[in-house]
Chain A
Amino acid sequence: MKILVVDDTEAVLLLISRFVEALGHMAVIARDGAEAVQVWRQERPDLVLMDMMMPVLSGPEAAMAIKNEAGESWVPVVFVTGVGEENRLAEAIERGGDDYINKPVNFRVLEAKLKAFDRTLELNRKVREQSSKLADYYDRAEEEKRVVRHLMEQMVNAERLYDPLLEYWLTPAESLSGDLIAAARTPGQSLYILLADGIGHGLTAALNVLPLTQPFYSMTEKGYSISDILTEMNNKVRQVLPVGRFVAVVLIAIDEVNGWVDVWNGGMPGVQLVGIDGQSQHVWKSAHLPLGIVPTEAMDVIPERHYFSAPGTVIAYSDGLIEARNPLGEPFGIQRLMDVVATYPPAERMALVKRRLTEHLDNVPHHDDISLVMAHCGLPQRALPIHSAPSAADPMRFQELAESRWRYSLNLGAQQLQHINTVPFMMNFINKVIGPGESQSDVFLILTELFVNALDHGVLGLDSSLKREPEGIEQYLTERARRLAMLQQGHVEIDLTGMWLDGQDYLRIIVKDSGHGFDWPGWLTNDLSTAGGLSGRGIALIRALCDMLQYRGTGNEVHAYYRVRSKKP
């Protein structure tokens, strides 16, 4: 240690400093309080051994000055006191002195005290080192959080979450949320909703859910099915996250046109469908492992479909909501949630759940992220744009007068039908050709319906009457998957042509399949308002969207003419 020895008596000063040096320390000296402060400034000793009564500045006064300047770092001051100084000594120690030793100095005691201070100083140094490290870690963690929060905000993109049919609420337990809500529309205007809950909360949980947003948005906008999106998300999560990390996920697809809701629930609380009266109509329980646990090949990515017959609301939430505990440790529970839902009309439910939860928590912070989604479905639809057929819609005129501008055709065999997501694949091209606008979604719907009909009924020979009963749909989908997996032969031809007639852009879509066709004249008389049950809406929908729809031969070839309603970019 470097020790500052202060005394106005030369003999004592010499004696003590020699002794200190003999113990292997280094001594610096001063002869009064003022000099002591000065020497301390220059030499920065580790410890001060100081007389009490000195000229110019007394020991206690000098000690206070030194302590003031030393600030955060600790400089022990030990007073060397003579008899009769007890009162001032007590005061000095109260005001910051660390210890004292009596005059005449007992060197055995002084040696022991110096050793003790050496130990304490070492400890003190370590603590200071660690606390500065800790402060560094804290600053770095805060900066990292700031960056991730920004990233999350960018990727989650609250603007996209705006949808007239969607209400949501997300409140993180810490500054970062491990829950994620995302929503987007497919080109066919189905509403896709993603609710994810990464394990834990804070930074690591937020990082867990980040890989999900990109496949969700980009694939939804291209019109992929939620099974395709799940496959991609599981691959991403497996690629990015270490073992022991996973993400519970609910994916919801609401198709207003066909009147169904698809839900895939992996590790989240049950998703509810409730009616306007708030009564539960269907529950999708967790039926799958969360994402990131098993390889994608081992996963069942087929969602469970439910047809709705009246307006309703799909309600999904993370376990943070029902597990939020009040000061007595009682969880919020499903019952409280369902009571609010059953008591109030749809538009007021979200606000009331929030209020009930605030009351329940009674100022106790919730320990997990809370998220809640309410998506309304089955409300009166915007009327489909039904075109008044223009004079151009005459097959003969098209064949004779229309000018063909481009053509894109595709012939898919059994193997391609099994593995290619044909419609999203073609939409990439269509979007480039017809430009942005509502036509994209019309064309997506037409292509989807025509392709699904050609594949399901034509190539696979499935009977759509199976779909009429709600219980039949599962059977239908299972049978479809089985036949598709076994498919050895058969093909679907798709031919897209851009046409120009009377100053209008048209798109002709021809779909041919290797099937036997069907009794098409009967189907064509259906229209959207009379198409009953759960099948037969497809053709009625295409007829509503197209200027002209023709079946040829036995019905395994169909020609659709669609008038493009957007300007080319």
Chain B
Amino acid sequence: MTPTVEIEGDVGRVILSGQFDFSAHREFRQVCETLIANPSVKEVLVDFQNVNYLDSSALGMLLLLKEKIGVANKSLALVNCRDTVKQVLEIACFGKIFTIR
């Protein structure tokens, strides 16, 4: 999986596709770090539109991202979650700590 990035104004969007699991971890981290380092980006959106599966290590990566975003004083939201992704996020009760739209 290669995530792509779109920046619109002060919103940086990370668009993921396919399976979001441990094999995506390096690319995901790199993409997110560029967005975090970009001073004009105030909000980061992780876009799940094209993701059909995510596992527990992906949840771990999201937690790490949340921590880094918090340190950088930006905001984070998970968007366009399809049913399968939504289910995994629901079971993990991630709605309690993430903004999911």
Residues in B whose Cβ lies below 8 Å from that of A293? 63, 97
A243-B63 contact, Cβ under 8 Å, with A200-B22, A200-B56: yes
Residues in B whose Cβ lies below 8 Å from that of A289? 92-94, 96-97
- In Å, the complex CA distance between A269 and B92 comes to 9
Residues in B whose Cβ lies below 8 Å from that of A245? 60
- In Å, the complex CA distance between A165 and B60 comes to 35
Decide if A197 is an interface residue (CB 8 Å cutoff).
Answer: yes
Which residues of chain A from 303 to 341 have a CB within 8 Å of any chain B CB? 319
Residues in A whose Cβ lies below 8 Å from that of B92? 248, 267, 286, 289-290
Decide if B59 is an interface residue (CB 8 Å cutoff).
Answer: yes
Interface residues of A: mostly helix, strand, loop or mixed? Answer: loop
Decide if B6 is an interface residue (CB 8 Å cutoff).
Answer: no
Interface residues on B, range: 10 to 19
- In Å, the complex CA distance between A266 and B92 comes to 7
Chain B residue at minimal CB-CB distance from A287: B93
**Mask for A171-200, Cβ within 8 A of B = 1, else 0?**
000000000000000000000000001011
A244 touching B56, Cβ below 8 Å: no
Decide if B10 is an interface residue (CB 8 Å cutoff).
Answer: no
Partner of B59, one of A199, A266, A288: A199
A286 touching B60, Cβ below 8 Å: no
**Cross-chain pair count, CB within 8 angstroms:** 48
B91 touching A199, Cβ below 8 Å: no
Decide if B11 is an interface residue (CB 8 Å cutoff).
Answer: no
Decide if A507 is an interface residue (CB 8 Å cutoff).
Answer: no
Chain A residue at minimal CB-CB distance from B64: A244
Decide if A252 is an interface residue (CB 8 Å cutoff).
Answer: no
A298 shortest CB reach to chain B, Å: 9
- In Å, the complex CA distance between A368 and B57 comes to 12
B85 shortest CB reach to chain A, Å: 14
Chain A residue at minimal CB-CB distance from B91: A286
- In Å, the complex CA distance between A248 and B90 comes to 13
B5 shortest CB reach to chain A, Å: 21
- In Å, the complex CA distance between A368 and B53 comes to 14
Partner of A197, one of B56, B57, B63, B64: B56
Decide if B33 is an interface residue (CB 8 Å cutoff).
Answer: no
- In Å, the complex CA distance between A244 and B60 comes to 4
Which residues of chain B from 26 to 73 have a CB within 8 Å of any chain A CB? 55-57, 59-61, 63-64, 67
Partner of B97, one of A199, A248, A286, A294: A294
Decide if A268 is an interface residue (CB 8 Å cutoff).
Answer: yes
Residues in A whose Cβ lies below 8 Å from that of B91? 267-269, 286, 319
Partner of A266, one of B60, B61, B93: B93
- In Å, the complex CA distance between A248 and B94 comes to 12
A199 touching B56, Cβ below 8 Å: yes
User: What would 17 more interface pairs be, CB under 8 Å, given A199-B56, A287-B93?
Assistant: A197-B56, A199-B57, A199-B60, A200-B57, A243-B64, A243-B67, A244-B61, A244-B64, A245-B60, A246-B63, A267-B92, A268-B91, A289-B94, A289-B96, A293-B63, A293-B97, A294-B97
Chain B contacts to A: CB under 8 angstroms: 22, 55-57, 59-61, 63-64, 67, 90-94, 96-97
4 cross-chain pairs, A with B, having the tightest CB-CB distances, nearest first: A244-B64, A199-B56, A244-B60, A267-B92
List 24 contacting pairs A-B, 8 Å CB cutoff, sorted by A: A199-B56, A200-B22, A200-B56, A200-B57, A200-B60, A243-B63, A244-B60, A244-B63, A244-B64, A244-B67, A245-B60, A248-B56, A248-B92, A266-B93, A267-B92, A267-B93, A286-B90, A286-B91, A287-B93, A289-B92, A289-B97, A290-B93, A294-B96, A368-B55
